[in-house]
């Protein structure tokens, strides 16, 4: 089979290798759709501390079960399957305290290699974070399970009241997904703040009626205008840039919460106005990864048809063109691309 490897920043290579075998309790999946995402793009640009090079590449996918390991009874060959690429160990300190996103082993036991014809899912992931694809969910939508799980985890950490005002800064895939999931969770009018007209227009077409183009408007003034001058109950930083991390507290009300979702490169330092945080009780949280609860909830959103995610796919590429796809993303084109092996 062919599998894409990131061999150096900016350099993807397709290699021929043997189709993986299924380990006992695991399965092998014939990949039908894999999606690009911001983490992959960051790794493509500058490498990634969690991905020593060369590495198999890609982690958002859906497909069909091609082979079963010994003892697997929950799936049969040919079954369409949705899965994320990691699962917690279930026994470490964090797992025992329902903070499985911080599991000691979750990063070391994750799988990469979705930009390939086949990918092996080990038992710990199959048992906790994989599902039969419902017939009403397309392979393309189903490949959103993992980014949706990140977003569900992020929004659940905010513990928003039903009437909360929520802003999201960043009009990338994760920013738009935050707005869509927030609405599915009952937040009537999340506001999406971005800098790319075509992406804000896409969000509006998907029902996110409140958008602010930060190139033309002062986001803080625009937010004040529809919150009675108070500011938002919560804001999600989804750009992964230092300037937005530092300015995000300006958008929330006294007692509001800032969620720092978009990670910065290792070693980055940020600064905040201490008086604003203290005397206005502005809380900072920083969600990372997801729990099995979030994966299940993301699956249920997809299965219920509660959110429309396919329009976030800007273009489809064959596996042979995966390098071209990333060069295009690197040049600032497209939102998410589907890689179809
Ligand atoms: Zn654990």
Ion ligand 1 — residues with CB < 5 Å: 88-89, 92, 95, 103
Q: How far is the CA of 98 from the centre of ligand 1 (A)?
A: 9
Mean of the pLDDT values across residues 192-215? Answer: 96
The yes-or-no verdict on residue 49 having pLDDT over 90 is no
Beta-strand pair 313-318/336-340: parallel
pLDDT in tens, 100-158: 999 999 999 999 999 999 999 999 999 999 999 999 999 999 999 999 999 999 999 99
Which two three-digit tokens encode residue 268? 């980055």
Q: How far is the CA of 125 from the centre of ligand 1 (A)?
A: 13
The whole-angstrom separation of Cα 245 and Cα 34 is 30
pLDDT score at 80: 98
* Element of type H or E holding 303: helix 292-303
Report residue 70's pLDDT band, with 50, 70 and 90 as the boundaries: very high
Stated pTM of the model: 0.96
Positive or negative torsion for Cα 33, 39, 42, 46 = negative
From 251, 189, 258, select the one nearest 218 (Cα to Cα): 251
Q: How far is the CA of 139 from the centre of ligand 1 (A)?
A: 30
Helix (H, G, I), strand (E, B) or coil at 130: strand
In this prediction, what percent of the chain has a pLDDT beyond 90? 95
Report residue 14's pLDDT band, with 50, 70 and 90 as the boundaries: very high
pLDDT in tens, 76-114: 999 999 999 999 999 999 999 999 999 999 999 999 999
The whole-angstrom separation of Cα 156 and Cα 178 is 11
pLDDT score at 287: 97
Report residue 4's pLDDT band, with 50, 70 and 90 as the boundaries: very high
Please return the burial class of 318, using the count of CB atoms within 10 Å of its CB with bins 0-12, 13-18 and 19+: exposed
The yes-or-no verdict on residue 300 having pLDDT over 90 is yes
From 50, 42, 65, 39, select the one nearest 150 (Cα to Cα): 39
The yes-or-no verdict on residue 266 having pLDDT over 90 is no
pLDDT score at 51: 84
Q: How far is the CA of 87 from the centre of ligand 1 (A)?
A: 9
Length of the chain measured in residues: 341
Q: How far is the CA of 211 from the centre of ligand 1 (A)?
A: 39
Q: How far is the CA of 250 from the centre of ligand 1 (A)?
A: 36
The yes-or-no verdict on residue 50 having pLDDT over 80 is no
């Amino acid at each position: 089979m062919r599998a894409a490897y990131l061999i150096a920043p900016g350099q993807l290579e397709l290699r021929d290798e043997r189709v993986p075998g299924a380990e006992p309790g695991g399965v092998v999946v014939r990949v039908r759709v894999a999606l690009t995402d911001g983490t992959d793009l960051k790794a493509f640009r500058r490498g990634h501390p969690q991905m020593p090079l060369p590495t198999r590449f890609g982690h958002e996918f859906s497909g069909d079960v091609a082979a079963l390991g010994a003892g697997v009874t929950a799936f049969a060959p040919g079954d369409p399957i949705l899965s994320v690429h990691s699962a917690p160990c279930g026994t470490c300190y964090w797992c025992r305290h329902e903070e499985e996103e911080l599991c000691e082993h979750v990063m070391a036991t994750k799988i990469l290699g979705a930009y390939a014809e086949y990918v092996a899912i080990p038992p710990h992931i199959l048992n906790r974070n994989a599902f039969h694809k419902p017939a009403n969910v397309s392979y393309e939508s189903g490949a959103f399970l993992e980014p949706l799980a990140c977003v569900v985890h992020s929004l659940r950490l905010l513990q928003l009241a039903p009437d909360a005002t929520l802003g999201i800064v960043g009009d990338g895939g994760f920013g738009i997904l935050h707005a869509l999931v927030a609405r599915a969770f009952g937040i009537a009018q999340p506001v999406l703040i971005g800098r790319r007209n075509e992406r804000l227009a896409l969000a509006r077409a998907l029902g996110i009626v409140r958008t602010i183009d930060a190139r033309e408007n002062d986001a803080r003034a625009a937010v004040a205008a529809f919150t009675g001058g108070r500011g938002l109950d919560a804001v999600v930083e989804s750009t992964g840039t230092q300037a937005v991390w530092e300015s995000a507290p300006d958008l929330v009300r006294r007692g509001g919460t800032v969620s720092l979702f978009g990670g910065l490169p290792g070693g980055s330092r940020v600064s905040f106005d201490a008086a604003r945080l203290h005397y206005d009780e502005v809380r900072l949280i920083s969600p990372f990864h997801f729990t099995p609860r979030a994966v299940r909830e993301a699956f249920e959103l997809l299965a219920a048809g509660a959110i429309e995610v396919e329009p976030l796919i800007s273009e489809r590429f064959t596996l042979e063109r995966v390098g071209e796809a990333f060069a295009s993303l690197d040049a600032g084109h497209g939102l998410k691309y589907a890689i179809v092996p």
